[in-house]
Chains A and B, each alone.
Chain A
């Protein structure tokens, strides 16, 4: 069953992506750059460190990976056939 979002009409998220973005707590400085660029609100700060809040609205753009100067974010493609899809891209 595909999931939808009120904030992002016209997009569906299908299947179980698992946690395909990982944060290395030892490297994270809690700068919050990942939070600033993530339009899907996938991150939050807890105990002064970034953590994944939810990947439910992730569009796999990898912006979090690019802006993490400390290399604390590991980004991989989610399993085939899962994640976002749209007819209107």
Chain B
């Protein structure tokens, strides 16, 4: 069979693969993306809120583009359930208040398939080749170097470098001897349900807020045996995504009978949880049930976290590199960040004509220097929460929920978040314009069920008050950009103190949060004006600065290969 040659082979067209493929193709590299399913994203299963830091600090084509989203999310309402039958339930909430919410979002809910397909389309538009229904079954090794891959059809595809984004199981990475099999205690099995539900019911019950449930073991709410990672529900546009997940083994090595327990827990929660039973169940219809395993606690174990993420001729990005968030249980932002870094390193390696492990070590260094990735994969809040579920101590359970999914998260996410914001402004003071446009454009797309590139019939072309406000905002950003840049440079090294400051002034921060929620009714008119203005706007006002990239045209700094 004829050999095929590429500069870069990217394995997987999930969330990470297309990011790497697009960047390599933009740089002028001959790039092939392989996907084992017939269409990108149809083997990706997740209950999915992609946290905002992924969009703000991730690949610019996502930030400046129009990915398909199901609902902007403004926060999390946790139900800490002490006794379900007695309805002894406490809520712990962290939410962006109006008038910022729902336009300024905490994250975006999405179905995996359309989102991954959209990403793959951007990579293809940039010049990457996408080959679906193709499984990479082995690597080609020559003199210890990985020089390409072998497909399930026996095709030999040679490349200068392979970027492996195959997903959490890492079957090819294990076969190639780069990674090992994880212990079952580190793996969570996510039992996922999709319920159709009328939008007006979701708007009324959820609004834009996620609902998570936590309880002691014997309540059989958050599955099971003190190792329950939780029960989470995500409002989408016309549906609710619902997930219970559980590690494959307990600390003592015992493997729980998940086949039986998941059914039991699902039955309990959907028939007993008051708001589900009374407000959702009458109008919800089960549409899909599926499951997937993911490497939830890999980052907490030194040995597992430090498994190699590169070798001679291959870089691993996303879940296959063990980058699932141990805290929030999301893998998308870390997949985006790492795939972006992997592409940078691949481009540098090909330019230097050196794809050795020694050269690729810089990938590992950059992953370790990335404040959000490191926060995401070393955060032990969720691990401690499962311990609290065993404790039967009300205060302990509430405190742990608060720490990980309530206001307490600010005491540990503050530093990486502020550091990333300052770094972003230092690198490009005008990025603030792009961030603002992103929030507005995504909200416009969500409200109008379209992409801002599609002009809606009959929609006015005038820029209106919002357009004028944005022009004024842009002027401020431009005028103050030297000052913003200087402040960012000055404060970035000090961002390490943000967590300490939030901890020290926690009562003041909480008072501020509570006050902002209490004051929401005062802002209702402004909130309505903002929502109506964005919904009715001429979408051209949401394109800022980076219009060249926004239209998916290649960058100018293409790599020249000798």
Task: Tell me the nearest residue of chain A to B172, going by C-beta.
Answer: A77
Task: Tell me the nearest residue of chain B to A10, going by C-beta.
Answer: B288
Checking A11, A65, A67, A78 against B249 with a beta-carbon cut-off of 8 angstroms, the contacting residue is A67
Task: Tell me the nearest residue of chain A to B183, going by C-beta.
Answer: A66
Alpha-carbon distance A87/B112, docked complex (angstroms): 8
- CB of B187 within 8 Å of the partner chain: yes
- Known contacts A10-B290, A66-B181, A86-B113, A76 near B137 by CB under 8 Å: yes
- CB of A44 within 8 Å of the partner chain: no
Contact B255 A89 (CB under 8 A): no
Against B, the Cβ 8 Å flags (1 = close, 0 = not) of A24-46 are 00000000010111110100000
Task: Tell me the nearest residue of chain A to B112, going by C-beta.
Answer: A89
Contact B249 A81 (CB under 8 A): no
Instruction: Enumerate chain B residues within 8 angstroms of A59, measured Cβ to Cβ.
Output: 45, 290-292
Number of interchain pairs (Cβ within 8 Å): 137
Contact B194 A10 (CB under 8 A): yes
- Least Cβ–Cβ distance between B343 and chain A, in angstroms: 24
Contact A9 B288 (CB under 8 A): yes
Contact A65 B181 (CB under 8 A): yes
Beta-carbon contacts under 8 Å, B503-557 to A: none
Instruction: Enumerate chain A residues within 8 angstroms of B151, measured Cβ to Cβ.
Output: 80
- Least Cβ–Cβ distance between A15 and chain B, in angstroms: 9
- CB of A60 within 8 Å of the partner chain: yes
Alpha-carbon distance A65/B168, docked complex (angstroms): 13
Contact B288 A11 (CB under 8 A): yes
Alpha-carbon distance A81/B303, docked complex (angstroms): 35
Instruction: Enumerate chain A residues within 8 angstroms of B187, measured Cβ to Cβ.
Output: 63, 66
Interface band, chain A: 35 or more
Tell me if B's interface is mostly helix, strand, loop or mixed.
Answer: loop
Against B, the Cβ 8 Å flags (1 = close, 0 = not) of A56-89 are 0001111101110100000111111101111111
Beta-carbon contacts under 8 Å, A1-33 to B: 7-11, 14, 33
Interface band, chain B: 35 or more
Contact B133 A88 (CB under 8 A): no
Contact A89 B249 (CB under 8 A): no
Contact B36 A33 (CB under 8 A): no
Q: Which of B256-264, B380-388, B456-464 contacts A (4 or more CB under 8 A)?
A: B256-264
Beta-carbon contacts under 8 Å, B340-370 to A: none
Alpha-carbon distance A14/B36, docked complex (angstroms): 12
Contact B43 A85 (CB under 8 A): yes
- CB of B134 within 8 Å of the partner chain: yes
Alpha-carbon distance A61/B261, docked complex (angstroms): 18
Contact A66 B293 (CB under 8 A): yes
Instruction: Enumerate chain A residues within 8 angstroms of B43, measured Cβ to Cβ.
Output: 60, 83-86, 89
Subset of 12 A-B contacts with CB under 8 Å: A9-B289, A33-B255, A37-B255, A38-B259, A59-B45, A77-B152, A80-B134, A81-B134, A85-B43, A87-B111, A87-B113, A88-B290
> What 5 pairs between A and B have smallest CB-CB spacing?
A10-B288, A81-B133, A89-B45, A88-B288, A61-B293
Residues on B lying within 8 angstroms of A by beta carbon are 36-39, 41-46, 111-113, 132-135, 137, 151-153, 169, 171-172, 181-184, 187, 189, 191-192, 194, 239, 248-249, 253, 255-259, 262, 286-293
| New A-B contacts (17) at CB < 8 Å, excluding given A10-B288, A83-B43, A85-B39 | A10-B287, A36-B259, A41-B259, A59-B290, A63-B187, A66-B181, A67-B249, A77-B171, A80-B37, A80-B135, A85-B42, A86-B113, A87-B113, A88-B111, A88-B287, A88-B288, A89-B43
